Amino acid sequence: MNASLGESVSTGRSGQGPEAAAERNHAGPRAHAADGHWKTDLEVLLDLLDLEQIGEDHFLGHHPEKVHSRTFGGQLMGQAIVAAGRTVGPERPVHAVNAHFVRGGDVTKPIEYRVERHRDGRSFANRTVTAYQNDQELFVMLAAFQDWSPGLEHATPQPQVPDPEQLPRVEESFTGLEDRLQMFVNAPHPIDLRYANDPAWILKGTGGTLDYNRVWMKADGRLPDDALIHVATLGYSSDTTVLDSIITTHGLSWGFDRIIAATVNHSIWFHRPFRFDDWALYATQSPVAAGSRGLATGHFYSRAGELLATVVQEGVIRHFPPRA
């Protein structure tokens, strides 16, 4: 989603997923040339998460070489998670992040991430990460860390859907709709997305509605053996399809209807360790839309049915129907 309110109206929304490409941070073919080396889309994403440390608890994040007009909110989430995590030992993983988007980022300039340490207790640690450009706040995130320990367990069960190997990559659903979905067709795909239901643009063609969405996703390749990178990649990916259910409930689609969408806040709770180069089912729904805002919730499940993470996002959603 957009990194702030006040974005221009478009027929898509920003992010990494197919419905999010209107505000991509980079666009082009499935690989990118850099210093004579062709990088895959996933390698480009990993570069984004490889922050430069420029001082104590002070980091610098960069944009890809090929950018769109606004910083993708998932990029801010992923980079901020890395910044916070680099100030805490690996034995104490992040268990919750709560972010607010203040204003849009300039994709021609790097982003500073300043980490404030609030607590380093026996079991818990707390951080605030603030993203800046030109000394202006773009984004603020609270992050909480906890030593892993056993305890009571229960979870909402995973929805029953086909296995990801039985489903096509999302790019295959663009066939015949390239003119409408050009911003998706030409977008990079560091995350392999596979819808278990018809995506918004297919529902649009059938006149259907749907109040939930189920999408298998994982990194499109192997990730490093660094648990923080797996968490940050999930954080990046959580901003892709999360608002789908708001518009599909009303029979609308990115690329077909005139919609403005911008993230207001985004929270994630991480429940157990995982690898995000393994398949995870992202099951989302929208409990409410009112006042030009929509709320969406999501659950990430492992293939074994374990609940890995819970997401809640609030976004501005404005629909401009065609004039009669």
Tens-digit pLDDT profile for residues 54-68: 999 999 999 877 556
Residue 53 is a catalytic residue: no
Q: Is residue 30 part of a domain?
A: no
Tokens 């977008």 label which residue?
187
Q: Is 41 a catalytic residue?
A: no
Catalytic residue, chosen from 75, 158, 263, 310, is 263
Cβ-based neighbour number of residue 321 at 10 Å: 8
What per-residue confidence (pLDDT) applies to 67? 57
194 close to 166: Cβ distance less than 8 angstroms: no
Determine which helix (DSSP H) or strand (DSSP E) holds 218, and give its type and residue range.
strand 212-219
Binning pLDDT at 50, 70 and 90, where does residue 34 land? low
pLDDT in tens, 165-177: 999 998 777 777 7
Of 188 and 128, the structure prediction assigns the larger pLDDT to 128
Q: How far is CA 8 from CA 19, 112, 133, 191, 279, in A?
A: 16, 25, 20, 26, 34
Whole-angstrom distance, CA of residue 245 vs CA of residue 124: 35
CATH code, domain with 106: 2.40.160.210
Q: Which residue has the higher pLDDT, 312 or 18?
A: 312
pLDDT score at 201: 83
Spatial contact of 12 and 184, defined as CB atoms under 8 Å apart:
yes
Location of structure tokens 């898509």:
12
pLDDT band at 284 (very low <50, low <70, confident <90, very high): very high
H-only helix segments in the chain: 41-49, 73-85, 182-185, 200-206, 227-237, 244-248
pLDDT tier at 36 (50, 70, 90 boundaries)? low
pLDDT on residue 244: 92
Q: Tell me the residue range of the domain where 134 lies.
A: 41-149+163-319
What average pLDDT does the segment 45-62 reach? 97
Q: 180 in a domain, yes or no?
A: yes
Contact residues for 178 (Cβ-Cβ < 8 A; gap 6+):
185
pLDDT tens across 1-30, in order? 443 332 323 333 344 444 344 333 333 345
Show Cβ contacts of residue 59 under 8 Å, excluding neighbours closer than 6 positions: 51, 52, 53, 79, 82, 83, 86, 112, 113, 114, 115
- The per-residue DSSP string of 34-101 comes to ETTEEEEHHHHHHHHHSPEEEETTEEEE---SS--SS-BHHHHHHHHHHHHHTTS-TTS-EEEEEEEE
Average pLDDT estimate for 276-303: 98
Model confidence at 117, pLDDT cuts 50, 70, 90, reads very high
Residue at 141 is within a domain: yes
Average pLDDT over residues 284-309: 98
Average pLDDT (196-225) is 94
> Is 0.85 surpassed by the pTM of this model?
yes
Across the range 230-244, mean pLDDT stands at 96
For residue 178, being part of any structural domain is answered with yes
Query: Per-residue pLDDT averaged across 178-203, rounded?
Result: 82
Task: Say what the alpha-carbon torsion angle 216, 219, 223, 228 is, to the nearest 10 degrees.
Answer: -70
Q: What is the mean pLDDT of the chain?
A: 87
Confidence of residue 187 (pLDDT cuts 50, 70, 90): low
Measure CA 40 to chain center.
19
- Which residues are CB-contacts of 319 (< 8 A; sequence separation ≥ 6)? 247, 250, 252, 257, 258, 259
CA distances from 102 to 3, 156, 263, 264 (A): 7, 33, 9, 8
307, pLDDT greater than 80: yes
Query: Residue 320, Cα to own-chain centre: how many angstroms?
Result: 25
DSSP 2: B
**How far, CA to CA in Å, does 287 sit from each of 41, 99, 100?**
33, 20, 20
Q: How many domains is the chain partitioned into structurally?
A: 1
Q: Within a domain: residue 9?
A: no
Among 41, 192, 220, 239, the one annotated catalytic: 239
313 is catalytic: yes
